[in-house]
């Protein structure tokens, strides 16, 4: 791992010198893809990478308080979206939602699950240009 040479205010965790970005556009239309996005984010975080799941389009709807409980159809033997999301967040994965998608869908910052943050498109561009790796779902 590299050393943190800039101010710690710029980083969530200076011990994590590499970042990994998971871009997710899938939501309740394809919960398997959303679960996979969260699983890969958790794997990245467990490898001590600073990890962000950036949600656009249908993925943003999953990050609304109460939406998972209302919309997910549980599949026996498969972790639920709630379980995958909780695991990812416990491992330090940051979840960001596209502000343009939020605006288009009428979703306000206060509607988001606690810990999920709105972020503009330039945040995604900045993250991906600096990341060690990216993956999309």
Query: How many independent structural domains does the chain possess?
Result: 1
Provide the 10 A C-beta neighbour count for residue 62: 25
In a domain, 76, yes or no: yes
Q: CA-to-CA distance for 110 and 45, rounded, in angstroms? A: 26
Give the CATH number for residue 85. 3.40.1260.10
In a domain, 69, yes or no: yes
In a domain, 2, yes or no: no
In a domain, 13, yes or no: no
In a domain, 75, yes or no: yes
Q: CA-to-CA distance for 33 and 88, rounded, in angstroms? A: 15
In a domain, 31, yes or no: yes
In a domain, 121, yes or no: yes
Residue 47, pLDDT > 70, answer yes
Domain that residue 127 falls in: 21-136
- For 120, residues 6+ apart whose C-beta sits below 8 A from its C-beta are 98, 99, 100
User: Which tokens belong to 114?
Assistant: 């606690």
Q: Per-residue confidence at 74, pLDDT binned at 50, 70, 90?
A: confident
In a domain, 105, yes or no: yes
Instruction: Judge contact between 41 and 55, C-beta under 8 A.
Output: no
User: Which tokens belong to 22?
Assistant: 């998971």
HEC letters along 27-51 = CHHHHHHHHHHHHHHHHHHHCCCEE
> Per-residue pLDDT tens for 94-137?
999 999 999 999 999 999 999 999 999 999 999 999 999 999 99
Q: CA-to-CA distance for 45 and 56, rounded, in angstroms? A: 21
């Amino acid at each position: 791992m590299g050393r943190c040479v800039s101010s710690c205010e710029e980083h969530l965790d200076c011990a994590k010198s590499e970042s990994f970005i998971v871009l997710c556009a899938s939501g309740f239309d394809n919960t398997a893809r959303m679960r996979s996005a969260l699983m890969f984010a958790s794997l990245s975080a467990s490898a001590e990478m600073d990890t962000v799941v950036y949600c656009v389009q249908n993925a943003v709807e999953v990050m609304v308080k109460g939406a998972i409980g209302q919309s997910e159809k549980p599949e026996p033997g498969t972790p639920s979206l709630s379980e995958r999301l909780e695991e990812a967040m416990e491992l330090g994965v940051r979840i960001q939602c596209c502000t343009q998608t939020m605006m288009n869908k009428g979703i306000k910052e206060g509607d988001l699950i606690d810990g999920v943050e709105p972020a503009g498109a330039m945040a995604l561009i900045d993250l991906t240009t600096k990341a060690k790796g990216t993956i999309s779902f």
